[in-house]
Every structure is written in C-alpha cells, then in structure tokens.
C-alpha cells in the first residue's frame, strides 16, 4: 500500500490565521497601552503630591511605585512595536520551521484567503484611523506610538507583502515525495 500524506492543506489556513491574529492582538495592545498611558499620566502626579501622612512620606512611596510604573509605561510603545514586527517576521520563519509545502492546485485558495485577509486588515486599519485622527486623549496617545500606528495604518500593504513572500516560500519548494512524481501523485 502506498503511504499517503494526510496532513491536508491546513498550513495555508494557519499561516493566514496567525497573520490576522498578530494584527488583531497588535490593535488591541495599542488601544490598551493608550488607555494605560493616559491613566498613568493622570494618576502619577496626583499620587506623588500626597505629602506626609503621620510619619509616612506617601509622596516618596508613590514615586517608587507609580513613578517606576510610569517610566515603564512610557517605554512600552517601542517594546510593543518591536514585538509586533518580530511577530510578523515569525510568520515567515514559521513556514521554514514547519517545512510546509502545499500542492500547487491550492494557489487559488491561497489567493482567496489573501484577499479575505486584506479586507480584514482594511477594516481594522480604518477603525484605527478613526480613533487615531480624533482629538481626544486616546488619540493623542495613539499618535505618540509612531511605530505601531504606522504598522497598523499600513497593515493591508504590509500583510500583502508578507503573504506574497510567504506564498513564494510555500509554493516554490520542491515537493517532499519525489519518488512517485511529487505531491503524493
């Protein structure tokens, strides 16, 4: 009996699911970080101006706790942006690690999923742009996060480039089973 590859073509779906998951997680992380940044900038000055209560200097204690947390929150946008870029790069490394090689007949399926991914990226990018172009406090916090704002606003083009490179890496490999003509034929 001929041994058949029963993995199916789930690798294409996983690739696009990871790309969309990275985009959605990045969107929510930027929003949460903007809210936390606003809250930290509001609370820290109040807490550091408490003064003395009895024998305890609450201003000094608040400087150690809230001041340190505020410094971390101010540095977090660049950490988040770097993590986001590395997650996008990981999606291409994922193809090498898994060694996935779909049948060329699935190129149309790949292109269809890429079009759906672009529609999703456009929706998320437009939602972000609506919040980003506002004049409220959250909008100003998002405008300060330049790397993530750029990556999310231009996510349709960035994800198309990544998926084209991923498609080339997937479909340009030589089939693993070449003793019977390749691709299990």
Closest C-alpha to 76, from 37, 20, 119: 37
- What is the spatial distance between Cα 102 and Cα 111, in angstroms, rounded to a whole number? 13
Q: What is the pLDDT of residue 94?
A: 83
- What is the spatial distance between Cα 25 and Cα 53, in angstroms, rounded to a whole number? 43
**pLDDT < 70 positions in the chain:** 1-9, 174-185
Q: What is the pLDDT of residue 183?
A: 52
- What is the spatial distance between Cα 111 and Cα 81, in angstroms, rounded to a whole number? 28
Show me where the domains of the chain are located: 10-35+76-171
Give the residues across from 56 on adjacent strands.
53
Q: What is the pLDDT of residue 159?
A: 95
Q: What is the pLDDT of residue 5?
A: 54
Q: What is the pLDDT of residue 143?
A: 92
- What is the spatial distance between Cα 31 and Cα 145, in angstroms, rounded to a whole number? 10
Closest C-alpha to 159, from 128, 115, 129: 115
* Statement: the pTM of the whole predicted model exceeds 0.95: no
């Amino acid at each position: 009996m001929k041994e058949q590859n029963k993995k199916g073509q789930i690798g294409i779906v996983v690739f696009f699911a990871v790309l969309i998951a990275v985009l959605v997680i990045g969107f929510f992380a930027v929003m949460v970080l903007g809210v936390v940044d606003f809250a930290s900038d509001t609370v820290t000055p109040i807490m550091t101006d408490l003064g003395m209560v009895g024998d305890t200097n609450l201003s000094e204690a608040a400087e150690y706790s809230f001041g340190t947390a505020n410094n971390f929150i101010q540095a977090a946008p660049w950490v988040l942006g770097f993590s986001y870029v590395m997650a996008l790069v990981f999606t291409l490394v994922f193809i090498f690690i898994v060694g996935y090689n779909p049948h060329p007949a699935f190129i149309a399926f790949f292109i269809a999923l890429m079009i759906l991914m672009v529609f999703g990226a456009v929706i998320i990018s437009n939602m972000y742009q609506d919040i980003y172009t506002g004049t409220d406090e959250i909008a100003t916090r998002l405008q300060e996060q330049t790397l993530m704002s750029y990556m999310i606003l231009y996510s349709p083009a960035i994800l198309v480039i990544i998926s084209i490179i991923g498609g080339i890496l997937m479909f340009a490999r030589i089939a693993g089973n070449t003793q019977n003509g390749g691709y299990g034929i």
